[in-house]
Structure 1
Amino acid sequence: MDDQVQTMIENLHKNTGKSLEEWIDLVKKEKLEKHGQIVKWLKETHSFTHGFANLVAHKSLKSDAGSASDHDALIQSQYKVKEHFLPVLDKLKNEINLFGKDVEFIPKKAYISVKRKKQFAMLIPATKTRFDIGINLKGQEASGVLALDTKTSGMVSHRIELQSIEDLSSEVIDWLKKAYESAG
């Protein structure tokens, strides 16, 4: 299990007096079956922050990457009907690995989180025609291919959109490297 998730689970118990399993049982008793319903209920009824509500919702629905036993299956699912973006993913992973030995690629349900000590990027096969790279560079002005993010609810600060591997320029790699360096 990811260290960050484990810390959140421990803090959930400290903050609420109930374990993750107890919260999952409560969600089941309420017969909540959708992520948004669970998050709303926990926030409105139990004053949860979004992060803790999201954690309990994902664990209740087994929709998080940590609940998946096969990370390769997560990636295959992300790229279903978007296989033409797999060379983009491979090239990005190769380039990012050159930044340092401390890079981790953590597949989630809809994207791959890229982290050092903290997440600095997200690799997202967004649609059949668009591959998004989310980047954490808080305080950085948008410039060139780097646009402010409006799609991930604060999980990253900026976004770069690609349509093909030809869009994977040195500018894109430079922004990723800057994010990597700021995550150390």
Structure 2
Amino acid sequence: MDPAVQTMIDNLEKNTGKSLDQWVTIVQQEDFKKHGEIVKFLKADHGFTHGFANLVAHKSLKSDAGSASDTDELIAKQYKGKEHFLPIFQKLKSEIAAFGKDVEFVPKNAYVSVKRKKQFAMLVPATKSRYEVGINLKGQEPSGILELDTKSSGMISHRVVINHEEQYSKELVDWLKKAYEAAG
């Protein structure tokens, strides 16, 4: 299990007096079908912060990457209808893995998180016509293909948009390498 998720699970019980399993049972008794309903319920009725409510909602619906039994299945779902972006993902994965033995690829439902000691990139098949590479380089001025991120709530600081394989560049790999080095 991801250490950050385990820390949240441990803190959930410390902060609320109930374990994750107990909260999942409470939520399931309410028979919610949607993530947002669960989050709203936990925040309004139980004083949860958004982070804890989000965790319990995902675990209740088994909609998080940690609940998936097969990470290859997560990647297949991400690229369904966007298969033309798989070569970009494979090329990026290969280039990034060559940065060092400490690189970790963590598939989520909608993207693949790339970590060293902390997340330094996200590989996102955003739409059928847009692939996004999120890069964590706080304080870096936008330059060339690197633009500031305004959408991901602080999970990354910059992004590079790729619309087709020809836009894959050495400049992108260089920015990723810089983020990898900063994450060490």
The equivalences for 1:145-184 within 5 A come to 145-184=145-184
Q: Secondary structure at the match of 2:52?
A: helix
Identity within the alignment, %: 70
Change (3 A) 1:91 1:52: same
Q: Secondary structure at the match of 1:81?
A: coil
Provide the C-alpha distance between the structure 1 equivalents of 2:95 and 2:164, rounded to a whole number of angstroms: 16
Provide the C-alpha distance between the structure 2 equivalents of 1:138 and 1:26, rounded to a whole number of angstroms: 39
Q: State which drifts further: 84-93 or 168-177.
A: 168-177
User: What is the deviation of 1:146?
Assistant: 1.4
User: What is the deviation of 1:49?
Assistant: 2.2
Partner of 1:129: 129
Q: State which drifts further: 156-165 or 59-68.
A: 156-165
AA of the residue aligned to 2:90: D
User: Which consecutive residues of structure 1, in runs of 5 or more, have no partner in the other structure?
Assistant: none
Provide the C-alpha distance between the structure 1 equivalents of 2:68 and 2:145, rounded to a whole number of angstroms: 34
Q: Secondary structure at the match of 2:28?
A: helix
Provide the C-alpha distance between the structure 2 equivalents of 1:58 and 1:48, rounded to a whole number of angstroms: 14
**Which segments of structure 1 move beyond 3 Å, counting only runs of 4 or more?**
none
Provide the C-alpha distance between the structure 2 equivalents of 1:22 and 1:66, rounded to a whole number of angstroms: 18
User: What is the deviation of 1:4?
Assistant: 1.7
User: Which consecutive residues of structure 2, in runs of 5 or more, have no partner in the other structure?
Assistant: none
Partner of 1:3: 3
CA offsets 1:54-111 (integer angstroms, 9 cap, x no match): 1111101100111111111111111111111111001101110111100000111111
Q: Secondary structure at the match of 1:121?
A: strand
Q: Secondary structure at the match of 1:122?
A: strand
| RMSD, matched Cα | 1.3
TM-score, normalised via structure 1 length: 0.94
CA offsets 1:17-59 (integer angstroms, 9 cap, x no match): 1110111112122222211121222223323222222111110
User: What is the deviation of 1:138?
Assistant: 1.8
TM-score, normalised via structure 2 length: 0.94
Partner of 2:43: 43
Provide the C-alpha distance between the structure 2 equivalents of 1:28 and 1:117, rounded to a whole number of angstroms: 35
Partner of 1:14: 14
